[in-house]
Structure 1
Amino acid sequence: MTTSLTSPETTAIAASNRAAIIASPKVKLRRRRIVIEHPDTNTGEALLAEALGAADRDALHGLLSQLVKASVVARKPDQGNLAFMVSTLKSIAPRDSLESMLAAQMVSIQVATMRCACRLACTDDVQQQESLTRAMTRLSRTFAAQIEALNRHRSSGGCAITVQNLSVQDGGKAVVGNFTQHTNLIAAQPGFVDAAALPA
């Protein structure tokens, strides 16, 4: 199943760098080949590689090839699915190869989830409905886990903890200041403070 927009032009709705995404070329399928639409092939590849987070030409073509395979409908690559996948991948704005691969998996999972939803809506067979419901649940959970993984990767695995209330008993000691904690290191700015020295 393919759908087409009424307008031949589409714009990026949610993107961190709109100018780069809008300037990046479109990807089309022609005679089972991937064509990057840009007057200059090398510039088109460079712009698209930057928008998709691909490190080089080989990574770009490998990623596009995988997206083409994931876009298949009725055993044929689907231009509509491919355009959606590339556009969504651009809007995620991967910053490196890991984010690019994860984002490609995310858009592939999204397409598979919606295929299951379409099949579920079109079937009256109870066994098929149960099977498709289980598949959709698994795909949806995978997608949520991928979002968490992307967020963790982008935040470098750091988790901010803010202590708003601290009580120190008489004779106790507390460390006051800003802390930064890494896996094997805890760093603090000022030193120890005696509980008796704290204002009541």
Structure 2
Amino acid sequence: MTQPPTAPRSTRTAPRFRTSANGVVSIVTDGPEQLRELFGTKTGEAASGLMRTAMNALGRSGEDYRDLLAAMAVEIEPRDGIEAMLVVQMAATHTAMAEMARRMMDTTGGYQVRESLERSMTRLSRTYLAQIEALKKHRAKAQQTVRVERVTVENGGQAVVGNIQHGGRPHVEE
């Protein structure tokens, strides 16, 4: 029995995080290009900004979820800045949804508090699904294919197969 081919493994790696005694978080990378490669951005400044944005979005629970954020960037492998922003948003939305679920299960605040948390969780869930669709749609634009099922060319006719674009200005007869 043959094994199915495995997808090539990414060379992207997640940075490490260090928290000082006074609570300051440092992002430790293997080199200056690690964040740029992680997020698939063209510039280090964009990648650093995305990492800072992600850490801020995680808020107080950031220490609990920061490794998840970096690992999801490795897993999803963003190809450009748009995808990187979506990955950051998706990780923050997922984290917020998990936090709402935890609060909902732990609440002793009564029906109204539980109902409010449930509504927030539902909204976050819908937002997360919309983010997944946006990522899929963005990626699909780069991979559009046209499949021709059947072409019939009569005697004397011609068929053109390929990407056809009209260039230049149209000729107008006077």
> So what's the TM-score if we normalise by structure 1?
0.63
- AA aligned opposite 2:38: A
The SS at the match of 1:45 is: coil
**One of 111, 114, 118 as aligned partner of 1:126:** 111
Q: In structure 2, what is the equivalent of residue 109 of structure 1?
A: 93
Structure 2: tracts of 5 or more residues without a match:
1-6, 153-158, 162-174
- Structure 1 residues 58, 158: closer, same or farther in 2, change over 3 A? closer
Mapped partners of 1:17, 1:67: distance in 2:
27
Taking the TM superposition and a 5 Å limit, the aligned residue runs for 1:10-159 are 18-21=9-12, 24-31=13-20, 32-38=24-30, 44-73=31-60, 78-124=62-108, 125-156=110-141
- Do 2:35 and 2:44's aligned partners in 1 also have CA atoms closer than 8 Å? no
- Do 2:93 and 2:124's aligned partners in 1 also have CA atoms closer than 8 Å? yes
Mapped partners of 1:159, 1:79: distance in 2:
40
Give aligned-pair identity as a percent. Answer: 30
- AA aligned opposite 1:30: T
- Do 2:29 and 2:35's aligned partners in 1 also have CA atoms closer than 8 Å? no
Deviation at 1:25, TM superposition (A): 4.6
- Structure 1 residues 177, 101: closer, same or farther in 2, change over 3 A? same
Q: RMSD across aligned C-alpha pairs, in angstroms? A: 2.7
* Structure ranking higher in strand proportion: 1
Q: Which runs of 4+ in 1 moved over 3 A?
A: 157-164
Mapped partners of 2:89, 2:127: distance in 1:
10
Mapped partners of 1:84, 1:65: distance in 2:
15
> So what's the TM-score if we normalise by structure 2?
0.71
- AA aligned opposite 1:35: I
- Do 1:177 and 1:188's aligned partners in 2 also have CA atoms closer than 8 Å? no
- AA aligned opposite 2:16: V
The SS at the match of 2:59 is: coil
CA offsets 1:107-144 (integer angstroms, 9 cap, x no match): 00000000000000011310011111111111001111
- Structure 1 residues 139, 51: closer, same or farther in 2, change over 3 A? same
Deviation at 1:89, TM superposition (A): 1.8
Deviation at 1:158, TM superposition (A): 7.2
The SS at the match of 1:28 is: strand
Mapped partners of 1:84, 1:36: distance in 2:
15
- Structure 1 residues 134, 163: closer, same or farther in 2, change over 3 A? farther
Greater relative contact order structure (CA < 8 Å, 6+ sep): 2
Structure 1: tracts of 5 or more residues without a match:
1-15, 39-43, 165-175, 179-186, 190-200
